[in-house]
Amino acid sequence: MAATILIVEDEFAVARGIQYALQQEGYEVTVARSGEEGLDFATHQAPDLVVLDVRLPGIDGFEVLRRLRATGSKAPVLVLTARDDEVDKVIGLELGADDYLTKPFGLRELMSRIKALLRRAYGDLADAAGGRVIRHGDLLIDLERRRVQRGQRRIALTATEFEILRHLASRPGRVYSRRELLELLRDYEALDQDEKTINVHVSHLREKIEDDPSLPAFVLTVRGAGYAFAER
Ligand code: CA
């Protein structure tokens, strides 16, 4: 799954140029034309990276950034400043921007900054665009290397925990009953044939990948039915 990038920019020509260049590189790109729209998208869709213009109608880029960070989002943000304005850079970086570019800029420069930010935030997995990597917010699951990360932090899972996560995350929203998960796992470990075993593994998995295991954001309980991985 390619990295998803949100561009918040009201100038059509600029937004379109960046969007086109990023799409050529294989990224999935969304454009928001106002701060409100951008904030709404960033909050609900959790893009992997945000390109944020400072000068916007309505709430400006700084306010978008401040509110976005207040929601706990750690997605890398590259701020576009209108001119070589030191004050804008300082404010942006203080508010939690990860990098900035001054307009006018070259698309090649923008592209290399974006790649560097993705690599810094998500490590090697950022380069695996199109590879067998599942992303959800800052959770990355590398199916081939059987590695799991939250941002840059590697998470060690047991074989069983990884298999549960792999099955659930491969089909977000699809509900798996405990019985079904047990059947899927049978080949990997000699599991006690008790459905409650699944609850124990899921609870360990949540302790490792969730911010708050009692309010999971990734592995959800579907009452009376089983478990499902959150849809984006
Ligand atoms: Ca603008």
- Dihedral over alpha carbons 128, 163, 138, 230 (to 10 degrees): 120
Q: Which domains does the chain have, with CATH numbers?
A: 4-122 (3.40.50.2300), 133-229 (1.10.10.10)
CA 73 to chain centre: 9
Q: Residue 146 corresponds to which tokens in the numbers above?
A: 């059987």
By the 10 Å C-beta count (0-12 exposed, 13-18 middle, 19+ buried), 50 is classed as buried
Which of 122, 68, 119 lies closest to 95 in space, CA to CA?
68
Q: How far is the CA of 188 from the centre of ligand 1 (A)?
A: 53
Stated pTM of the model = 0.62
Beta strand extents in the chain (DSSP E only): 4-8, 28-32, 49-53, 77-81, 99-102, 133-136, 139-142, 147-150, 153-155, 219-222, 226-229
Q: How far is the CA of 30 from the centre of ligand 1 (A)?
A: 16
Q: How far is the CA of 82 from the centre of ligand 1 (A)?
A: 8
Which of 175, 174, 176, 117 lies closest to 151 in space, CA to CA?
117
Q: How far is the CA of 160 from the centre of ligand 1 (A)?
A: 49
Q: How far is the CA of 196 from the centre of ligand 1 (A)?
A: 55
By the 10 Å C-beta count (0-12 exposed, 13-18 middle, 19+ buried), 231 is classed as exposed
How crowded is the C-beta side of 45, counted as CA atoms within 13 Å? Answer: 20
Interatomic CA distance for residues 150 and 209, integer angstroms:
7
Question: CA angle, 126 as apex, 44 and 64 as ends, to 5°?
Answer: 35
Q: How far is the CA of 108 from the centre of ligand 1 (A)?
A: 20
Q: How far is the CA of 53 from the centre of ligand 1 (A)?
A: 6
Q: How far is the CA of 40 from the centre of ligand 1 (A)?
A: 18
Would you write out the chain's pLDDT as a tens digit for each of its 232 residues? 578 899 999 999 999 999 999 988 888 899 999 999 999 999 888 888 999 999 999 999 999 999 999 988 889 999 998 766 677 777 778 888 999 999 888 898 999 999 999 888 876 555 544 457 888 888 999 887 788 999 888 999 998 899 999 999 988 899 999 988 888 887 555 555 678 889 999 999 999 999 999 999 999 999 999 999 998 7
Q: How far is the CA of 11 from the centre of ligand 1 (A)?
A: 5
By the 10 Å C-beta count (0-12 exposed, 13-18 middle, 19+ buried), 6 is classed as buried
Q: What is the pLDDT of residue 195?
A: 80
